[in-house]
Amino acid sequence: MLSNPSTPHSNDSSVVLSASLMLFGFILLVSSGCGTPDRFAVRDLSVTREGWDTLDVSARFIEDRPMAAMSEVVPDLVTMTLFDEAYDTLYVGPLGRIAVFDENLGDSERLLLEVCAYLESHQSCNQHALAASPKRARAEYDVTFPQDSTHGFERAFVESRVLLERQIHGGEGWERFEPTGRKEIYIDAWISDHAQSRMRLPVVRRGQRFILPRYEGYRDFRYAIQSSMLDADSAAVNFDLFVRLSREALPVASEQIVLRPKSESERQEEMRILVERAGAQVLQAMDSFFGVRQAYVFINDWSYAALDRVYRAQFELHWQSGLRGSWSDLSGEIQVRSDGELGTFQLIRASERAGERWEQRIGQSVLELDHLFPENEILPPEDDNESPSDNEETDPRGRFRQ
């Protein structure tokens, strides 16, 4: 009887297979006896927004062991952290309902919610991205520049009322809101076609007067106006109102004021007033015991330097004074800014009586004049905390001058 040649080989294979199964079973036994999860995860992270200012957060925690069904577990520790766009922490604490101070966040600012759980030596985290409410600003805005006719380009008055709104949660409309922290509001003032002329003015109240030489960039701002006035006989001055609702401040309102030089007749009238008031101060400085009965001023020549805003005028002064009403006369040159400040009178010629009186009362060739437009003089208010920059001069009389 012949034997089956395949039988020994079959028996050998069975022995090898049985040994492999025994070894694999040992490995499974060791692994399943570890007692720690191979997979631990934060699942089904749920974020519910009942409004812009409230978040409800929940999650499930899953343990997945080999050779076992996936099951929920209770972690040893769970923490929830809410970050703003700059990754500053807005909240850290347990899951549940939390308050979000949305009014202090930026326009549609990106937020990140992170939930981390810890089980034995294992950690698992899950994240959820969300955003703050869309926000916008509206403004009632009016700019007066120059503020008056005597201070040139040194004064501006701004009336601004900024209204902050955010989109209604789940709707299309908008609602007013008041942040607990103040939003930055400022004005960029600049001259068209002169990029280097930009000057920033911080807005701190609804009605605000700006003394422009106190702010950085005023010299370039003024020079751009004067250059434009000389080149094009006009200057377009822009005042752009910005509100910082996010990292980038957005323009809310803008006003453009086109400046044109005064006409020749307007300049002549302004010069006439300055000369008359200068003559009155000269007579007051030379006043005698009996006073002045009557006086006349005759203007011989005058000019106006637009870049410096300075008038120069040569004039004659004739007056009657003394007990007998004798006449005296002198001539001289006045130099004064168009706002009436920093005026001087230089004596050129005087009659005998006038010369004697000049030497007695004044004693020098140049007389410094007081402000010739005192009715328009504007001094900084007592509550104005701004200080002049280091490169600005201070007038000895307490006024800031360029």
Measure the CA angle with vertex 327, ends 325 and 331; round to 5°. Answer: 150
Could you tell me which residue, 359 or 322, shows the higher pLDDT?
359
Contact 197, 222 (CB under 8 A): no
Average pLDDT (43-52) is: 90
Domain shared by 193 and 292, yes or no: no
Residue at 379: amino acid letter: L
Domain shared by 293 and 321, yes or no: yes
Distance of CA 313 to the CA centre of its chain: 43
Where among 203, 225, 259 does a domain terminate?
259
Q: Where does residue 173 fall: left (phi above 0), alpha (psi -120 to 50 degrees), or beta otherwise?
A: beta
Q: Largest Cα–Cα distance in the chain?
A: 176
- CB neighbour list of residue 108: distance below 8 Å, 6 or more residues apart: 131, 132, 133, 134, 135, 246
3-state helix, strand, coil in the chain (%, to 5): 20, 45, 35
Q: What is the pLDDT of residue 252?
A: 94
Q: What is the pLDDT of residue 93?
A: 94
> Measured between alpha carbons, how far is 317 from 336 in angstroms, rounded to an integer?
17
The pLDDT confidence band at residue 234, using thresholds 50, 70 and 90, is confident
Instruction: Tell whether 52 is covered by a domain.
Output: yes
CATH number of the domain enclosing 219: 2.60.40
Where among 131, 164, 191 does a domain terminate?
131
Domain shared by 94 and 49, yes or no: yes
Lowest mean pLDDT among 4-8, 56-60, 147-151, 234-238: 4-8
DSSP-assigned letters across all residues of 66-114:
TTS--EE---SEEEEEEE-TT--EEEEE-SEEEE--GGGS-TT-EEEEE
For 70-93, the pLDDT digits (tens) are: 788 899 999 999 999 999 999 999
> Measured between alpha carbons, how far is 310 from 322 in angstroms, rounded to an integer?
35
> Measured between alpha carbons, how far is 375 from 343 in angstroms, rounded to an integer?
16
Q: What are the phi and psi torsion angles at 260 (to 5°)?
A: -135, 145
Query: What DSSP character marks residue 14?
Result: H
Domain shared by 292 and 195, yes or no: no
- Domain enclosing residue 346, as ranges: 264-376
Instruction: Tell whether 386 is covered by a domain.
Output: no
Domain shared by 253 and 274, yes or no: no
**pTM for this prediction:** 0.57
Tokens (6 digits) for 69: 């069904």
CATH number of the domain enclosing 121: 2.60.40.10
Domain shared by 112 and 51, yes or no: yes
Tokens (6 digits) for 330: 């002198």
Domain shared by 323 and 343, yes or no: yes
Domain shared by 127 and 139, yes or no: no
Domain shared by 106 and 196, yes or no: no
DSSP-assigned letters across all residues of 225-257:
HHHHHHHHS-EEEEEEEEE-SSSS-EEEEEEEE
Contact 367, 345 (CB under 8 A): yes
Q: What is the pLDDT of residue 377?
A: 60
Instruction: Tell whether 361 is covered by a domain.
Output: yes
Could you tell me which residue, 24 or 172, shows the higher pLDDT?
172
**What is the average pLDDT value for the chain, to the nearest integer?**
82
Question: Facing residues of 335 across strands?
Answer: 312, 344
Average pLDDT (160-188) is: 91
> Measured between alpha carbons, how far is 219 from 91 in angstroms, rounded to an integer?
47
pLDDT at 221 over 80: yes
Q: By percentage, how much of the chain surpasses pLDDT 70?
A: 81
Average pLDDT (364-378) is: 84
Question: How many helices and strands in the chain, by DSSP H and E?
Answer: 4, 23
Instruction: Tell whether 12 is covered by a domain.
Output: no
The pLDDT confidence band at residue 358, using thresholds 50, 70 and 90, is very high
pLDDT at 392 over 60: no
Instruction: Tell whether 21 is covered by a domain.
Output: no
Provide the b/e sequence for 250-265 (b: ≥16 CB within 10 Å): eebbebeeebeeeeee
Question: What SS3 state is found at 156?
Answer: strand
For 88-146, the pLDDT digits (tens) are: 999 999 999 999 999 999 999 999 999 999 988 888 999 999 999 999 999 999 999 99
Instruction: Tell whether 332 is covered by a domain.
Output: yes
Tokens (6 digits) for 194: 């002169």
Domain shared by 188 and 269, yes or no: no
Question: What SS3 state is found at 379?
Answer: coil
Average pLDDT (25-54) is: 65
Tokens (6 digits) for 394: 């201070």
Contact 98, 127 (CB under 8 A): no
Max mean pLDDT among 39-43, 147-151, 278-282 falls in 278-282
Domain shared by 114 and 197, yes or no: no
Domain shared by 101 and 158, yes or no: no
How many angstroms separate the Cα of 83 from the Cα of each of 74, 131, 230, 245? Answer: 25, 11, 55, 18
Where among 209, 226, 259 does a domain terminate?
259
**Count of the separate structural domains present in the chain:** 3
> Measured between alpha carbons, how far is 331 from 345 in angstroms, rounded to an integer?
10
